[in-house]
């Protein structure tokens, strides 16, 4: 039996996954209970919560999410998230599949006293699946780049953005933490970020949360199209 693909959905799924035929399942872990949605060949998890529950980035139970996928036999995970662009030429609506990442805060870990040193990378096979899914939808795609993670939940200051722009291409608040923890458990991980805004200070108009929300909602349909393309069987019809 083929192992399922794990998918972690982000802000583009705040109103629910919008895929039919999914089975809700609760998974108990030593870090808490996790709700997932099973489909044919994949397991979907909504990192910010579901059913009216919203968890801001700094409150996401990443450890529990990783352990839930591990318990379900998932060995490869694709993350989908909202990102801000650190490059004024990398415009909102672009799907970015990073090939590297960094965190400007201490990353989470499962390590206690044991010797645990991963060599970080983003899984090439998962990256290829995400890139193919993005190219199957209308809109620009950037294959490659550096994802920078900040703590959140606030946006970055213009001074922080000027600094981060020398380090990476997009900025978010979740994917680097996920990448580290999944790899610590031997699970391959890669991420796709859909650009929802130019980072604070880069745009002609000042960044506001209201403007960010407008653009995030405008990207929701492409986010769902990418998800549908990601879970569609090769050579077949959509499973949802």
CB 31 within 8 A of CB 66: no
pLDDT of residue 15: 66
Judge whether residue 1 has pLDDT over 70.
no
What span, in angstroms and rounded, lies between the C-alpha atoms of 234 and 130?
Answer: 13
CB 42 within 8 A of CB 133: no
pLDDT (tens digit per residue) in 192-240: 999 999 999 998 888 898 888 888 888 888 999 999 999 986 444 444 4
What percentage of residues in the chain have a pLDDT greater than 90?
68
98: which DSSP letter?
-
- Domains by residue range for the chain, with CATH: 5-231 (3.40.50.1580)
What span, in angstroms and rounded, lies between the C-alpha atoms of 138 and 169?
Answer: 21
The H or E element containing residue 84 is strand 76-85
Token pair, residue 195, equals 């650009």
Count the neighbouring beta carbons within 10 Å of the beta carbon of residue 31.
Answer: 15
DSSP 33-73: EEEEEEETTEEEEETT-STT----GGG--HHHHHHHHHHTT
The H or E element containing residue 45 is strand 42-46
Judge whether residue 110 has pLDDT over 90.
no
pLDDT of residue 232: 83
What span, in angstroms and rounded, lies between the C-alpha atoms of 136 and 127?
Answer: 14
From 12-16, 91-95, 219-223, the region with the lowest mean pLDDT: 12-16
């Amino acid at each position: 039996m083929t192992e399922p693909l794990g998918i972690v959905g982000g802000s583009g799924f705040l109103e629910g996954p919008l895929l039919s035929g999914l089975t809700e399942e609760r998974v108990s872990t030593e870090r808490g209970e996790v709700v997932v949605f099973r489909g044919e060949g994949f397991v979907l998890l909504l990192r910010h919560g579901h059913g009216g529950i919203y968890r801001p980035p700094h409150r996401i139970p990443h450890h529990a999410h990783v352990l839930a996928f591990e318990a379900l036999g998932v060995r490869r995970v694709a993350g989908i998230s909202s990102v801000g662009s650190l490059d004024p030429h990398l415009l909102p609506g672009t799907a970015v599949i990073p090939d590297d990442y960094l965190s400007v805060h201490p990353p989470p870990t499962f390590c206690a006293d044991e010797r645990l040193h991963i060599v970080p990378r983003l899984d090439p096979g998962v990256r290829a699946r995400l890139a193919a899914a993005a190219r199957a939808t209308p809109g620009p795609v950037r294959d490659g780049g550096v994802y920078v993670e900040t703590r959140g939940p606030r946006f970055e200051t213009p001074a922080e953005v000027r600094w981060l722009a020398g380090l990476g291409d997009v900025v978010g608040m979740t994917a680097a933490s996920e990448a580290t923890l999944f790899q610590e458990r031997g699970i391959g991980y890669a991420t796709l970020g859909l650009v929802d805004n130019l980072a604070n200070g880069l745009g002609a108009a000042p960044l506001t949360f209201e403007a960010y929300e407008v653009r995030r909602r405008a990207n929701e349909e492409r986010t769902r199209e990418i998800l549908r393309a990601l879970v569609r069987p090769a050579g077949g019809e959509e499973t949802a």
